[in-house]
Amino acid sequence: MGVVTDIALGILLVAALLVVVRLVKGPTTLDRAAAADVFVAILLCGVAVLVARRGSTVFVPVLLALSLLGFASSVAVVRFVGREDPVSEPDEHDETDEDHRRTTP
């Protein structure tokens, strides 16, 4: 069983590294928010595998806390940067006019 959990932890480590690359590269803050969300999910998987590996339930409360914290953090980030516009947005009050102009052929 130890071999299986080792392999699973290795796969999860590779996945987490790939997500971290996206977290660093991500062109916009929203891409980073999505990557952070996935990273927390992979972290949850990793801690769960650790619980299986050690056979002790010490880390189960960590899982509970992480699952709620990931949600709160991603929602906070998205609410904060939800109006970011990389194209052009001089004033957020003009956003609707901007969008109408942009979608008009």
Partner 1 sequence: MSAWDWVSAVLLLSGSLLALAAGIGMLRFPDLWMRMHAGTKPQVLGLLLVLAGVEVQLVPDASAVVALLFVGLFQLVTAPVASHLLARAGHRSGVVPRDQLVQDDLRVFELECAAGEHPESSPPQDPGPRAEGRG
Binding region for partner 1 (CB under 8 A):
1, 4-5, 7-9, 11-12, 14-19, 21-22, 28, 30-31, 33-35, 37-38, 41-42, 44-45, 48-49, 51-52, 55, 57, 60-61, 63-64, 67-68, 70-71, 74-75, 78-79, 81-87, 92-93, 95-96, 99-100, 102-103
Taking CA atoms, 22 is separated from 17, 25, 33, 57, 95, in Å, by: 9, 5, 10, 32, 29
Q: Which two tokens stand for residue 47?
A: 């801690």
In one-letter notation, the amino acid at residue 7 is I
Q: Minimum CB separation from partner 1 for residue 57, in Å?
A: 4
Q: In the bound complex, what is the minimum distance in angstroms from residue 11's beta carbon to partner 1? A: 4
Whose tokens are 């010490």? That residue is: 58
Q: How far is the CB of 90 from partner 1 (least distance, A)?
A: 14
Which residue, chain included where needed, has tokens 């999860």?
12
